[in-house]
Structure 1
Amino acid sequence: MVSLAPRPVSTPGRPLPVPYSLLIRNCGQLLTLSGGPTDRPLAGPHLSDWLILENAFVACEGPIIVALGPMAELDEAQVTAETQVLDAGGQVVLPGLVECHTHLVFAGNRAHEFQRKLQGESYLDILASGGGILSTVRATRAAPEEELLANALRHLRDFRRYGITTLEAKSGYGLDKETELRLVRVAREAGRRQPVRVVPTFLGAHVVPPEYKGRPADYLAFLAAEVLPALAGAAEFVDIFCEEGAFSVADSRRYLQQARELGFKLKIHAEQLHDLGGCAMAAELGAVSVDHCDYLSAPDAARVAASGQTVAVLLPLVPLFLRQDKYAPGRQLIAQGVPVALSTDFNPGSCPSKNLWLALSMACLKMGFTPKEAIAAVTLNAAWALRLAPEIGSIEVGKRADMLVLNVPDYQEIPYWLGENPVREVIIGGQVHA
């Protein structure tokens, strides 16, 4: 409920303090995500060793958090008639969720392949028959830019309702220069037209397109020579799908090295279906994240942990939707000191879901996360996976005011209510959205 407070009276010789533009009061639990190391992602015991304030407030001036603490410490003099006040009513308040792995921009869907999956065909079987990613490529190449933008904006509205305040958007459904550049352009434009921050990632190396069938190295050479130079300033990250049926470890290494030389930060899809060694290779190159990791071995996980900065982004809704038994070894990775984040991997083939809360619950049920670890994995560590942790991912003075008010009184209920959306209010940059 929004209310307005009376304006304080000034005293002679003492100017009025700058009023808060937004105050969230009566937070039953304020999940700050603060208190751990600030120079690297949370790992090991730090993943759950962060501060929760009870009966607390958080205040903003414009888009920035300027104060927080117990309600007894609230300076009422900074609450004026211009202050928008949200009463959390004893419920949980936490940082806005960060979606660090999505395939936002595409045309069509693959509902027609769902039946094939139910009849036992594997992800790679469908891809080899010309379906899967290639099916979406055909639809996306044919779609006008206006349609792609409208689809992306609709998805972003849905994400915002789930409490997503920052979202990574991969290309990868064009597999030619013109369409891939269009997908990055659409992602950037979608970010400008609505409040959720959109971070574009170039995934032109998703699979080998029909025009280069049987010539993966030639396709990667084309991307490095013709497409990456055209992306300067439009995408910060370059990604590749290192997997059987896509790109080998050797080809992926060469391509990522070329991308790094051009100034891009690196990501990789690896160890989703087989243990090929892509995660360790990418971490050696300084990748910001290694994503999927379902088949990541303990020795390679140790190599990722040794980097200190590479985040393992785990995607539990993918094996759920593909009806696979193998989930990423989350408990083992945490024990080994690997920084972990969680995301949906929203895409039309292996995860047509925007429900990051469900992914959080599945990480607890299938990957061994505790509730506090899972919350850190969708906030601060997910921000690290986009190199945005200095700005977002925790509730701290000086950070951007991206926050959520939930409809639960205790953080332990978040994974318990399976698949439900607990969001009551979404605050992005200090502005309240229903």
Structure 2
Amino acid sequence: MRLLPTIQGNADDGCCLVIDYKGKFAAIGLNSEIKSAYGDRCEEWYDATGQSVVPGLVDGHTHTVWAGDRVHEFAMKLEGATYMDIHNAGGGIHSTVQSILKASEDELYTLFKSRLLQLLKGKTAKEATEDILTNQIPKLKELCDKGELHIDNIDVFCEKGYTQGWPISWLETELHAEEFVRLHSVEMGAELNATAMSHLEEISDEGIKAMAEKGCVATILPTTAYLLHLKPPPVRKMIEEGCQWLWALTLTPTLTVSLCHLL
């Protein structure tokens, strides 16, 4: 993402892309460049002026491995309970951790596979899902069993009352940051060269500038802000300051896949 190229078209020479017979991007460039390079080789041309063309969605922030559920928390949220109210009542992340510890590895895998196949609808290619299920996950398990797998990335939940003193400077880091309370964790994440930071409802102006300067990706989670009655993150200001950003579903034990898609 830090080396993401951009193309700036204009009224006389806009942007153009070529899709091959497999449905993959073959070329992206200005209209003049594409027509010169491909010309009559293209079977069909589409004018997308005033529209958006996007590839299959790759979800940048989601939680797919868990057991149990926290559906009752949804009713608590509708009644006005905050995330910390739910946490103090025994719910939240710690509740899910206990359910995971009680579940078998086979149960976790079966649940994960079901959710992954549901998330596939309307999103990335089937081949990617099959590769994860049939090749990557079994290989990861094999490496873990042999003691050969080395972790080089960690996503830290950085919030008041949850995490203190994590030795993360040696890891490639992502953060859940500034969701409920402004702790200036974004500035800390920028100092650690975090690749991405999520939520950001309480981000400061200084935090926005730090993310833009370091090239940290801002992951925006609109379903979380909506369901928890949080103020929306200042996305427009992030864009104006030059932040790279993306949005994601953030599927969790408190939601269903269908509700994520609806929202």
Q: TM-score range by the shorter chain?
A: 0.7 to 0.9
1:165 offset after TM fit, Å? 4.8
Residues 1:59 and 2:20 are matched in the alignment? yes
1:267-416 pair list within 5 angstroms: 267-307=174-214, 309-324=215-230, 326-349=231-254, 351-353=255-257
After TM superposition, the structure 1 stretch with the greater mean CA deviation from structure 2, 88-97 or 151-160, is 88-97
1:245 offset after TM fit, Å? 2.1
Letter paired with 2:199? H
Structure 2 match to 1:40: 3
Q: Percent identity?
A: 27
Q: Secondary structure at the match of 2:175?
A: strand
Q: Secondary structure at the match of 1:158?
A: helix
Structure 1 match to 2:141: none
Change (3 A) 1:348 1:67: same
8 A contact 2:182–2:202 mirrored in 1: yes
Structure 2 match to 1:192: 133
> In the TM superposition, what whole-angstrom CA distance separates every residue of 1:328-374 from its partner, at most 9, and x where no partner exists?
1000111111111111111113x54467766xxxxxxxxxxxxxxxx
8 A contact 1:288–1:311 mirrored in 2: yes
**Equivalent of 2:122 in 162, 173, 178:** 162
Distance in 2 (CA, whole Å) between partners of 1:140 and 1:189 is: 24
1:317 offset after TM fit, Å? 0.7
Change (3 A) 1:327 1:134: same
> In the TM superposition, what whole-angstrom CA distance separates every residue of 1:387-424 from its partner, at most 9, and x where no partner exists?
xxxxxxxxxxxxxxxxxxxxxxxxxxxxxxxx5xxxxx
Change (3 A) 1:280 1:189: farther
Name the structure where strand makes up a greater proportion of residues: 1
Structure 2 match to 1:134: 94
1:321 offset after TM fit, Å? 1.5
8 A contact 1:41–1:311 mirrored in 2: no
Structure 2 match to 1:256: 168
> In the TM superposition, what whole-angstrom CA distance separates every residue of 1:153-188 from its partner, at most 9, and x where no partner exists?
11111111121359xxxxxxxxxxxxxxxxxxxxx9
Distance in 2 (CA, whole Å) between partners of 1:39 and 1:290 is: 14
8 A contact 1:344–1:355 mirrored in 2: no
> In the TM superposition, what whole-angstrom CA distance separates every residue of 1:135-159 from its partner, at most 9, and x where no partner exists?
2122211112222112111111111
8 A contact 2:63–2:252 mirrored in 1: yes
Cα root mean square deviation, aligned: 3.6
Distance in 1 (CA, whole Å) between partners of 2:179 and 2:119 is: 24
**Where do 5+ consecutive residues of structure 2 fail to align?**
29-33, 138-143
Distance in 1 (CA, whole Å) between partners of 2:148 and 2:253 is: 25
Distance in 1 (CA, whole Å) between partners of 2:216 and 2:242 is: 11
Distance in 2 (CA, whole Å) between partners of 1:90 and 1:193 is: 39
**Equivalent of 1:149 in 93, 104, 109:** 109
Change (3 A) 1:356 1:60: farther
8 A contact 1:149–1:190 mirrored in 2: no
Distance in 2 (CA, whole Å) between partners of 1:189 and 1:244 is: 39
Change (3 A) 1:287 1:58: same
Q: Secondary structure at the match of 1:238?
A: strand
**Where do 5+ consecutive residues of structure 1 fail to align?**
1-37, 80-86, 167-187, 199-226, 359-418, 420-434
Residues 1:266 and 2:173 are matched in the alignment? yes
1:301 offset after TM fit, Å? 1.0
> In the TM superposition, what whole-angstrom CA distance separates every residue of 1:202-234 from its partner, at most 9, and x where no partner exists?
xxxxxxxxxxxxxxxxxxxxxxxxx9xx6844x
Change (3 A) 1:297 1:149: same
Runs (4 or more) in structure 1 with deviation over 2 Å come to: 38-42, 48-53, 63-70, 72-76, 87-94, 230-233, 351-358
8 A contact 2:57–2:124 mirrored in 1: yes
Change (3 A) 1:66 1:337: closer
